[in-house]
Amino acid sequence: MTLKLGVPSKGRLMEQCFDWFGARGVTLRRTGSEREYAGAVEGAEGVELVLLSAGEIPRELAQGRIHLGITGTDLVRDRLADWDRQVRELVPLGFGHADLVIAVPAAWEDVSTLDDLDAVAAAFRRVHGQRLRIATKYHRLVRDHLAANGIADYQLVDSQGATEGTVKNLTAEAIADITSSGETLRANHLKVLDEAPILHSQAALFAARAADWGGEAGRAYRALAARLDLPAPPV
């Protein structure tokens, strides 16, 4: 079995992955058209490139269908329960930086902390008879963070599109989302709470604990690890 390496299939994150490996003597490239999701590896024997969406990579790692995968630490920690039992973070890659934050309408001048949000949520439920809605793609991380801070009067609203627009569209009162510069939040008249982010995220190389690390895959990994200065496989 070849060593399967999962990499985001498009966009800036794919390009940065290719650059990271290329700077270390391993060439990753797409083959065929952009719709084929096929790729090739040069400079590392026995390694097969698998192009996936960044959101699919945590699942494929957890199932052991790929040995290695590059995706955001936010996606791994949110998609996988007990994530460190399913995957091992081998090395942070130094790109794809973003923070998972809670943002509220800029017009909420008196709301700047989680305690303020808790008070607003309680008042919202008294007045409207329902919980304050927080739109997010990151249910596990947000729920755990709010529970740890004693906030209960809210409901999470799933957002798989433009989360920043949910407040303007009246489908949520607040959001929790990834941001790198905050410009999109400000453009949508939102402000980040004056608290530490829920998570500092970046792209990282992960190894699947459930994958088969014997035979050809194990030999390919040891050779790749020597070139990239990676730790031993997670077995």
pLDDT tens digits along 46-97: 999 999 999 999 999 999 999 999 999 999 999 999 999 999 999 999 999 9
∠ CA 231-233-235, nearest 5°, is 135
Residue 30 pLDDT: 85
Residues 119 and 104: their CA atoms lie apart, in Å, by 13
Residue 39 has pLDDT above 90, yes or no: no
Identity of residue 48: E
Residue keyed to tokens 């994958």: 211
The secondary element (H helix, E strand) that includes residue 118 is helix 114-128
Q: Which residue has the higher pLDDT, 111 or 34?
A: 111
Q: Which residue has the higher pLDDT, 10 or 102?
A: 102
Per-residue pLDDT band at 108 (split at 50, 70, 90): very high
Residue 36 has pLDDT above 60, yes or no: no
Give residue 118's Cα distance to chain centre.
26
By the 8 A CB rule, do 221 and 3 touch?
Answer: yes
Residue 178 pLDDT: 95
Domains of the chain listed by start with CATH number: 3-97+202-228 (3.40.190.10), 98-200 (3.40.190.10)
Least confident of 29-38, 58-67, 133-142, 169-178: 29-38
Residue 171 pLDDT: 95
Cβ-count burial of 61 within 10 angstroms (0-12 exposed, 13-18 middle, 19+ buried)?
buried
Residue 161 pLDDT: 79
Residue 34 has pLDDT above 70, yes or no: no
Residue 111 has pLDDT above 60, yes or no: yes
Residues 67 and 234: their CA atoms lie apart, in Å, by 10
Average pLDDT of the segment spanning 109-116: 96
Residues 119 and 153: their CA atoms lie apart, in Å, by 9
Residues 166 and 228: their CA atoms lie apart, in Å, by 42
For residue 36, what are the contacts with CB-CB under 8 A and spacing of at least 6? none
Task: Locate 235 and state its tokens.
Answer: 């077995």
Instruction: Name the residue among 181, 154, 148, 186 with its Cα closest to residue 168.
Output: 186
Average pLDDT of the segment spanning 165-175: 95
Neighbouring C-beta atoms of residue 107, cutoff 10 Å: 9
Q: How many CA atoms lie within 13 A of 96 on its CB side?
A: 24
Q: Which residue has the higher pLDDT, 128 or 35?
A: 128
Record the pTM: 0.91
Average pLDDT of the segment spanning 201-215: 96
Task: Locate 151 and state its tokens.
Answer: 């906030």
